[in-house]
Structure 1
């Protein structure tokens, strides 16, 4: 920017007073808007994460020497203390709610492991997400919603029975169709949730950058992996088609939405490439291993071209949308 202004001064032969006025209008020496607020919030979140890590490390170092009730009360205090401090430190609300959400997960895990409640892993994450939901609604912050989506996504992965749908590889008849379709639709709801939160005012930020990227990473991973493993396991074609349609819909939505979230669009393109190349590879090798080297070379070339074209289109799109 400095070079551009100096070029303008030389091109238009501005005198000293005009050049000084131009530099003042450029405001290059002025601090970025809302710098102090952003730094305060960033430092508060960093402090919350460091305090949470310090608590975890301290408890881990002294865990064997603590009585059972001491462990329980310590984790309970870690949950309640940030909630109580909310009344005194309103400006650190997001950081405190982040800390208490993490501590809540540790408390639930401790109770489940110590007293052997018999609950499945997905029930732990579902309970964690349910209890943390009021805090996410209170904070209305993109970052805290991203954490909540991670918790809910982990619960959904656990409820599916195996991570990333890998059970279709060894199941004899494949998973129950109705349940598998329900899982895919639940991932769709998770994918769209940040957009709904932003539109309804349940999130302060107009652009749910972090939360939507998190939801997209989880949902697109589930859809693409489920579709690919369903294809390899030779189960229902309808389920693979639904996964492909969901990924294509994610690409279309990320492309059409303004302003665009390029992280979501890039993730959707990666998932689309993965499903397309897996389908091509399955088609090439289903007839046997004859000319395997040639088929592998063809698949590699197609993968290189497909990935290159996707990245080129994404780069051009971003360059076109960039402010002048």
Structure 2
């Protein structure tokens, strides 16, 4: 049993109605029902993921025994069944749409593999994201938005052409315009969950799909820091991408601390990216000269300072958020007590008492 119930029972020991309500709350089988519903929903998602993955692996196997038309009809049939299941099976709608989203990717991969359309890999993922965006908007599910963010992020990475780690570290930056466009694309992707939350018919039931927001923000922060480090260490002069990345990271940190996008997990991600950005700049300044010992000492002190400042700052923010949550909870309790007192005063009016005396069954002297 939750310890909060004991505390509430100790605060009102003489109120039998409150004690009875707390007893019903303590013995209600709501938690097992919630656990069973979440377990059923999770198993549906796992089943959809396994079915769609099996279909994609079957396409990748490229079996020679089946004809092209048979493979194409099988993939299209799986897509059609998934879409129809999402329409007529309400409880399994999210799982069916998850399977349909993966089936669309398998269909595009099969067409590109079989007929050699000549399209680049990023065009496949961009088309995949565009086709899956329709039911992702209508379903308003954080699970589908997580998958869609991953598909769109893969398209952006492949468009830039730095998918391999070796190329990212040693190939060097491309044109300045392409770098800025790359940074702005990640900014757009990071803003997608927030923009979706502003539209009533696409808004998540909690108002904001926080997991997809964190995932999109994490991808954007990783891309900004990566392009900043590449621009910092592959050029003699600091290019434009490094300060622009710093401004984007700072703006994301501010919005994660203030305003409607305030989220402690997002703030932690932004703080990590800011530490990487600062330490990269310190490393360039420290190891540019000939004194490697002094540079190592400077970098170590900067790392310790960033670590100490980050930990103390995040702890202070966490304490502040907890105190604000406690104040809001206390305000709700005061409001509830005020409404309860108002109801009691209305029931205790003289008219209510006289009406109670004149109820049927009373005997007058």
What's the TM-score, normalizing by structure 1?
A: 0.85
Matched, 1:221 2:222: yes
CA 1:241 to 1:24, structure 2 compared with 1: closer, same or farther past 3 Å? same
Unmatched tracts of structure 2, length 5 or more:
330-365
Equivalent-residue separation in structure 2 for 1:207 and 1:163 (angstroms): 30
Partner of 2:27: 29
Partner of 1:127: 127
Please state how far the C-alpha of 1:162 moved relative to its aligned partner. 0.7
Partner of 2:117: 117
Please state how far the C-alpha of 1:17 moved relative to its aligned partner. 4.7
Q: Which piece of structure 1 moves more, 32-41 or 187-196?
A: 32-41
Give 1 or 2 for the bigger CA radius of gyration.
2
SS at match of 2:240: helix
Equivalent-residue separation in structure 2 for 1:303 and 1:179 (angstroms): 31
Partner of 1:297: 300
Partner of 1:198: 197
Partner of 2:247: 245
Higher relative contact order (CA 8 A, sep 6+): 1
SS at match of 2:88: coil
Equivalent-residue separation in structure 2 for 1:76 and 1:301 (angstroms): 56
1:280-310 CA-to-partner distances (Å, cap 9, x unmatched) read 1221111135315534533442343244334
RMSD: 3.2
1:149-189 CA-to-partner distances (Å, cap 9, x unmatched) read 211111011111113997575456x3111121111111111
User: CA contact under 8 A between 2:55 and 2:103: conserved in structure 1?
Assistant: no
Please state how far the C-alpha of 1:129 moved relative to its aligned partner. 0.9
Partner of 2:80: 80
User: CA contact under 8 A between 1:122 and 1:155: conserved in structure 2?
Assistant: yes
Please state how far the C-alpha of 1:22 moved relative to its aligned partner. 6.5
SS at match of 1:162: coil
Q: Which piece of structure 1 moves more, 175-184 or 312-321?
A: 312-321
Partner of 1:273: 275
Unmatched tracts of structure 1, length 5 or more:
none
User: CA contact under 8 A between 1:157 and 1:163: conserved in structure 2?
Assistant: yes
Please state how far the C-alpha of 1:262 moved relative to its aligned partner. 2.2
User: CA contact under 8 A between 2:176 and 2:240: conserved in structure 1?
Assistant: no
Equivalent-residue separation in structure 1 for 2:58 and 2:93 (angstroms): 24
1:180-233 CA-to-partner distances (Å, cap 9, x unmatched) read 111111111111111110111223330221221121111111111111221111
Please state how far the C-alpha of 1:145 moved relative to its aligned partner. 2.0
Please state how far the C-alpha of 1:119 moved relative to its aligned partner. 1.2
User: CA contact under 8 A between 1:224 and 1:274: conserved in structure 2?
Assistant: yes
1:67-114 CA-to-partner distances (Å, cap 9, x unmatched) read 433333222222221112233213422221111001111121122123
Matched, 1:161 2:161: yes
Matched residue count: 321
User: CA contact under 8 A between 1:168 and 1:230: conserved in structure 2?
Assistant: no
SS at match of 1:90: coil
| 1:227-238 correspondence to structure 2 within 5 Å | 227-234=228-235, 236-238=238-240
1:127-166 CA-to-partner distances (Å, cap 9, x unmatched) read 1111112121221222212211211111011111113997
